[in-house]
Structure 1
Amino acid sequence: MADNRVVQGRMVTPESLAELIEDDDIMDAEAIDDADRSCPDCGGDVLSVGYMPGITEFVTGFKCQDCDWSETDRDD
């Protein structure tokens, strides 16, 4: 499994994907994975990444590869 993926025409690392979702710096990120779901906005493929925005929190973030849509598991 490759660590880097293409999102909206740009190559992203797990860290840069998490920062896109969080819209802020993050501490650490796990490998990018396929979320096995489609984007609710455009129907594109969705990626997931687990990351730590701070020392006491772990979040799973989801980001469409084709449009601006993203969410985290804490949005529920």
Structure 2
Amino acid sequence: MSQNRVVQGRMVTADSLAELIEGESVMEAESISEADRDCPECGESVLEVGYMPSVTEFVTGWKCQECDWSETDRD
């Protein structure tokens, strides 16, 4: 199965989804999965991806497939 997903009308990989959430390049990203929640802004589906923005940090990020909303598990 392909790990590419459609986000806001364009195909993204795990790396490009992590970059959309982070706002800059990431070192590595795990595979994309469906999140167990809906977007708080528009109610559409949310995707989840784990990624490493740096050598010392692992972040889980969530991104709506239809709008600009995104969030991470950082404090």
Q: TM-score range by the shorter chain?
A: over 0.9
Partner residue in 2 for 1:45: 45
Partner residue in 2 for 1:23: 23
Residue 3 of structure 1 aligns with an amino acid whose one-letter code is Q
Query: TM-score when scaled to structure 1?
Result: 0.95
In structure 2, C-alpha distance between the alignment counterparts of 1:14 and 1:69, rounded to whole Å: 17
Runs of 4+ residues over 2 Å off in structure 1:
none
1:3-62 CA-to-partner distances (Å, cap 9, x unmatched) read 100000000000000000000110000000000210000000000000000000000000
Uncovered stretches (5+) of structure 2, i.e. residues with no partner? none
Q: How does 1:47-62 map to 2 (within 5 A)?
A: 47-62=47-62
In structure 1, C-alpha distance between the alignment counterparts of 2:65 and 2:26, rounded to whole Å: 20
Partner residue in 1 for 2:72: 72
Query: TM-score when scaled to structure 2?
Result: 0.97
Uncovered stretches (5+) of structure 1, i.e. residues with no partner? none
CA RMSD of aligned residues (A): 0.8
Aligned residues: 75
In structure 2, C-alpha distance between the alignment counterparts of 1:16 and 1:31, rounded to whole Å: 11
